[in-house]
Amino acid sequence: MAALFEIEGDLRFQIVEKIADGRMGSVFRGYQLGSEGFAKEVAIKVMHERFAMQRQFIENFIGEGKLVADLIHPQIVQIYNFGDEGKSLYRRMGAHSDVKLQGDQRAYYMVMEYIRGVNLGEFIREVKAQGKELPGPLAVFIASRIARGLAYAHGKKDTEGEPLGIVHRDVSPRSVMMSFEGDVKLTDFGVAKAAGLIEQNEGEQLSGTPEYMSPEQASFEITDQRSDIFSNGIILAELLLGHNMFAGADAAESRQRITDLPIPQFRNESEYIDLRLDAILQKALVHDLDVRYNSAERLMKDLEYHMYHKGYGPTNETLAKFMKELLPDRVTS
């Protein structure tokens, strides 16, 4: 595939295709180039040009890079490098750029692990489009991997041993990557909050995807790590039931449903959901913060016990096999 453009700094990158547009930047597939023909496939997220003139967005983009660079975990998409160039980068992007920088403003980018796969939102849409049903054990497996990544991020401390207080604040299908090898990875920490790294204006503006928000987010309240747990619970319920019970016709209706809709007895909604799994869903989705799971690690352990207490259960290979059957033309051997 012909290169779209190149990025040159301390390292050299060749960009071959645009693969996604996020809230804060466009994501491209490319290669980190080295001597003797070395080429490593990577994903490169370039900040949207319209944000490159706004100091808070720049600081948050830099904060995301610094934060995720130190989150080394199998369930989190890794960041390899962070860089910036002059506005000529946007000129080279051509049609892939949106507005024009002025003066000495910089174009920021981060180099990330490239995941051969799809995000969870695409996965869910494809399952529905093909009229398939996601097996219950795989639904629990996916949610447990998300919880595992959250547990690691939530427990991260700074160099002084103080908790960073990381809250992702946008745990939704579009921020979860599914590799064709069966890996499940959290990404897109662009609206996360973390002490000393990313600025937040909680109580003044909303952050997150409306139909996956916690009641605290939907009500403009201050969030903590239990907010991410609620969002994880929404994803688990959606995977098990085949729809998001909180999704409304628009963002406002979705937020209202999150704050007002009673949580059902899930065991009446699906044959797969037994008393134990129903109890997990109830505890993840309860509004009362004192009753909700107080750690993603506890949620993860309960989900894993539910999957494996009989001595067997789904694995990465199980998920990879399902994805190969779902997307045979996209999965490469």
Contact present, 90 and 221 (Cβ < 8 Å): no
Residue 135's CB: how many other CB atoms inside 10 A?
15
- CB distance 52 to 190 below 8 Å: no
Q: How far is CA 87 from CA 31, 94, 161, in A?
A: 21, 11, 39
Q: Hey, which residues are catalytic here?
A: 170
Query: Where does residue 154 rank: exposed (0-12), middle (13-18), buried (19+ CB within 10 A)?
Result: buried
Taking Cα atoms as reference points, which of 172, 318, 328, 327 lies closest to residue 239? 172
C-alpha 108, offset from chain centre: 20
Coil, strand or helix at 47: strand
Task: Say how many C-beta atoms besides its own lie within 10 A of residue 272's C-beta.
Answer: 16
In contact, 88 and 137? CB cutoff 8 Å: no
Q: What is the CA radius of gyration of the chain?
A: 20
Cβ contact 52:30 at 8 Å: no
- Size (the chain), residues: 333
If DSSP codes are grouped into helix, strand and coil, which group holds residue 286? coil
DSSP letter (8 states) at residue 8: E
Q: How many alpha carbons fall within 13 Å on the CB side of residue 145?
A: 26
Q: Please give the helix or strand (H or E) that residue 109 lies within, else none.
A: strand 107-113
State how beta strands 176-179 and 184-186 pair. antiparallel
What angle separates helix 120-129 from helix 225-241, to the nearest 10 degrees?
A: 20
